[in-house]
């Protein structure tokens, strides 16, 4: 029996494997997209979560849009966010994804020297490429008085491109030169002249931008340019153009440059306005993702796995399921308008005492299965699952409902009742052991129990000093044991490790095929079946220190418990 906290051993080789990836480098991925013979797509993202959503949607690359990143920071697309602030955002985006990011590097945030530093920093942070445009710092978004915007000196801009290419240490890092000649109203020949100069200076591709509602400028450019180098477009303004046109023209990449930002603004405005008017969450709840989806996108499951791997398993990785669906008719008037778990014990509901015990040993995650008068069972910080058939079904149906809702988060489970109090050391003991199934048995209560159908147990060894040092296994829980075989009484606590959870689910599902079990099945039925199926149920002995609230007099006992 292991009663101390255990740190699972970690094989160093496994840790290394976790970091390895079979995918090509992000720089190589981006270069492959750029040189692909078919039209490829990048979609804008502006923070970690939008980048992750873009990748999950299937996009093979992301545009780190200057417009969107500055907008999500609440500033203008005029280099108001410093380049290091942009770098920080794009680093979060890169960390959150495995597809390459092409950063919209505006004008390079300065001269050739700034571009060199930018390229080095982007490489360090896992960004696959940068696009720089031939305007002047501080730039303005191309769709705001574009023709009023001066263009950079062509030779000076070529120097920036050369500097950027010289600075990269990874051969596949991509530098795209963005030609703003159409935006500034300088026409096709200037666009072509500049594109050729930038290509000669070492640019890996050309982004040709246009603010027209039709694709005429970019198509004219591509016709003249041919296949000298890959050409990238941003069809924000000429959005009505069929994508087939871009494909036929032979463009390399189309960038959907701001649609995710705009979509989130649409929803954010809608929901904010609705909540302002309605002062109630009811009508918006179903229109927005559940919090669980946010957790998923944040990678909470991965974190839970890591906790299992790296943290001592001393109660942090446990979820308790409390069965609390029945009324507790034996308590008469006390449970007329509330279930037993909510009866008052010195000014506090019984359930709240149980929750406090759990919190005091570091168990925060508690799921309560409600039934009778469920609306009254509403303590904060708990997860609730309902068995609305509590009147016609037994506690195994409640358990099954509860388990259906549990997150797959790698936690062990403690299954207990919403009407049983324990001293906290008992929960601590249970948290510290690492077997598939463990039950707590009270060896001090034999025939003197008040229970109507007592959960007597037979075990492989009765409680003794010897039992403390050895594994003790449960053999059976039943009210019908001969005196000499009784080793104690089951307290209602069962711990199930991660490894045991599927076995427990399978056994429970099999049992629930029987209508009789559905109607009357109790936890001992399940535990006995696990044993008869060959699973080992470990026993931890205690002597007292728990109280099953079964009768009115127990309410008074609880006061001094």
Residues designated as active site: 77
Closest to 198 (Cα-Cα) out of 249, 250, 149, 163: 163
Contact pattern for ligand SPV over residues 19 through 58, marking x by CB under 6 A: ----------------------------------------
Place of tokens 């603004």: 265
CB of 45 to ligand SPV, least distance (A): 11
Segment contacting Mg ion by CB under 5 A, of 100-108, 186-194, 302-310, 544-552 = 100-108
Tell me if 183 sits within 8 A of 210, measured CB to CB: yes
CB of 141 to Mg ion, least distance (A): 6
CB of 86 to ligand SPV, least distance (A): 11
Closest to 416 (Cα-Cα) out of 470, 506, 459, 353: 353
Tell me if 323 sits within 8 A of 415, measured CB to CB: yes
The smaller minimum CB distance to ligand SPV, of residues 67 and 345, is found at: 67
CB of 87 to Mg ion, least distance (A): 15
Closest to 473 (Cα-Cα) out of 525, 535, 523: 535
Show contacts with Mg ion in window 49-68 (CB under 5 A): 66
| Site size for Mg ion (CB under 5 A) | 2
Which of Mg ion, ligand SPV, none is residue 528 near (CB under 5 to 8 Å by kind)? none
Question: What's the chain's length in residues?
Answer: 561
Tell me if 230 sits within 8 A of 204, measured CB to CB: yes
258 binds ligand SPV (CB under 6 A): yes
**Identified binder of Mg ion from the candidate list 55, 91, 104, 463, rule CB under 5 A:** 104
The smaller minimum CB distance to ligand SPV, of residues 77 and 548, is found at: 77
State the Cα–Cα distance between residues 388 and 401, nearest whole angstrom. Answer: 10
CB of 323 to ligand SPV, least distance (A): 55
**Identified binder of ligand SPV from the candidate list 236, 313, 387, 497, rule CB under 6 A:** 236
**Identified binder of ligand SPV from the candidate list 27, 65, 79, 114, rule CB under 6 A:** 65
Which of ligand SPV, Mg ion, none is residue 351 near (CB under 5 to 8 Å by kind)? none
Segment contacting Mg ion by CB under 5 A, of 96-104, 302-310, 492-500, 514-522 = 96-104
Contact pattern for ligand SPV over residues 94 through 113, marking x by CB under 6 A: ----------x---------
Write the DSSP assignment of 42-70 as a string of letters. Answer: EEEE-SHHHHHHHHHHT-S-EEE-HHHHH
Two tokens, residue 315? 């109660």
**Identified binder of ligand SPV from the candidate list 176, 257, 321, 397, rule CB under 6 A:** 257
Show contacts with Mg ion in window 229-248 (CB under 5 A): none
β-partners of residue 441 are 490, 541
The neighbour count for residue 170, using CB atoms within 10 Å, is 14
Closest to 90 (Cα-Cα) out of 142, 147, 51, 59: 51
State the Cα–Cα distance between residues 514 and 549, nearest whole angstrom. Answer: 29
The smaller minimum CB distance to Mg ion, of residues 66 and 349, is found at: 66
66 binds ligand SPV (CB under 6 A): yes
State the Cα–Cα distance between residues 336 and 327, nearest whole angstrom. Answer: 8
206 binds ligand SPV (CB under 6 A): no
The smaller minimum CB distance to ligand SPV, of residues 40 and 104, is found at: 104
Tell me if 149 sits within 8 A of 134, measured CB to CB: no
Give the DSSP letter of residue 318. Answer: E
Closest to 67 (Cα-Cα) out of 339, 252, 338, 257: 257
**Identified binder of ligand SPV from the candidate list 62, 234, 341, 415, rule CB under 6 A:** 234
The smaller minimum CB distance to ligand SPV, of residues 139 and 222, is found at: 139
Tell me if 338 sits within 8 A of 352, measured CB to CB: no
Which of ligand SPV, Mg ion, none is residue 234 near (CB under 5 to 8 Å by kind)? ligand SPV
Tell me if 537 sits within 8 A of 473, measured CB to CB: yes
| Site residues (vs Mg ion, CB under 5 A) | 66, 104
| Site residues (vs ligand SPV, CB under 6 A) | 65-67, 77, 104, 141-143, 234, 236, 257-258
């Amino acid at each position: 029996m292991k009663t101390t906290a255990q740190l699972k051993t970690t094989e160093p080789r496994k840790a290394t494997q976790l970091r390895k990836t079979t995918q090509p480098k992000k720089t190589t991925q981006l270069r492959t997209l750029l040189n692909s013979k078919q039209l490829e797509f990048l979609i804008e993202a502006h923070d970690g979560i939008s980048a992750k959503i873009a990748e999950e949607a299937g996009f093979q690359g992301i545009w780190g849009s200057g417009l969107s990143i500055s907008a999500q920071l609440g500033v203008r697309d005029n280099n108001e966010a410093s380049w290091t602030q942009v770098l920080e955002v794009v680093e979060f985006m890169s960390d959150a994804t495995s597809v390459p990011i092409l950063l919209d590097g505006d004008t390079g945030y300065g001269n050739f020297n700034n571009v060199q530093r930018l390229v080095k920093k982007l490489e360090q942070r896992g960004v696959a490429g940068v696009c720089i445009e031939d305007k002047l710092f501080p730039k303005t978004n191309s769709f705001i008085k574009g023709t009023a915007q001066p263009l950079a000196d062509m030779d000076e801009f070529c120097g920036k491109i050369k500097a950027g290419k010289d600075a990269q240490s990874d051969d596949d890092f991509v530098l795209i030169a963005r030609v703003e000649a159409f935006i500034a109203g300088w026409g096709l020949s200037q666009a072509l002249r500049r594109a050729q100069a930038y290509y000669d200076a070492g640019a890996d591709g050309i982004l040709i931008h246009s603010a027209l509602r039709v694709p005429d400028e970019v198509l004219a450019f591509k016709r003249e340019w041919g296949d000298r180098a890959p050409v990238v477009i941003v069809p924000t303004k000429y959005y009505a153009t069929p994508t087939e046109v871009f494909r036929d023209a032979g463009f390399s990449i189309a960038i959907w440059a701001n649609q995710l930002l705009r979509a989130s603004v649409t929803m954010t405005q809608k929901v904010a306005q609705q909540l302002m008017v309605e002062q109630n969450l009811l009508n918006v709840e179903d229109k927005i993702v559940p919090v669980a989806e946010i957790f998923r996108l944040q990678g909470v499951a991965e974190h839970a796995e890591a906790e299992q791997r790296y943290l001592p398993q001393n109660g942090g990785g446990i979820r308790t399921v409390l069965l609390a669906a029945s009324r507790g008719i034996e308590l008469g008037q006390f449970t007329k308008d509330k279930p037993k778990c909510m009866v008052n014990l010195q000014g506090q509901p019984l359930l709240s005492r149980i929750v406090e015990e759990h919190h005091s040993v570091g168990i925060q995650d508690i799921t309560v299965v409600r039934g009778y008068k469920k609306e009254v069972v509403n303590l904060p910080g708990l997860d609730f699952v309902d068995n609305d058939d509590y009147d016609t079904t037994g506690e195994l149906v409640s358990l099954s409902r509860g388990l259906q809702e549990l997150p797959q988060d790698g936690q062990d489970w403690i299954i207990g009742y919403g009407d049983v109090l324990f001293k906290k050391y008992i929960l601590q003991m249970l948290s510290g052991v690492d077997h598939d199934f463990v039950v707590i048995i009270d060896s001090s209560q034999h025939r003197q129990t008040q229970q109507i159908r007592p959960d007597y147990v037979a075990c492989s060894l009765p409680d003794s000093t010897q039992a403390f040092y050895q594994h003790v296994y449960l053999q059976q829980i039943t009210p019908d044991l001969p005196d000499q075989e009784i080793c104690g009484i089951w307290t209602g606590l069962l711990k199930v490790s991660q490894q045991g959870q599927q076995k427990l689910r399978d056994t429970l599902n099999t049992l629930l095929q029987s209508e009789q079990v559905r109607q009357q099945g109790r936890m001992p039925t399940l535990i006995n079946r696990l044993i008869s199926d060959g699973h080992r149920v470990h026993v931890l002995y205690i002597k007292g220190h728990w109280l099953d609230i079964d009768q009115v007099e127990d309410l008074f006992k609880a006061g001094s418990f």
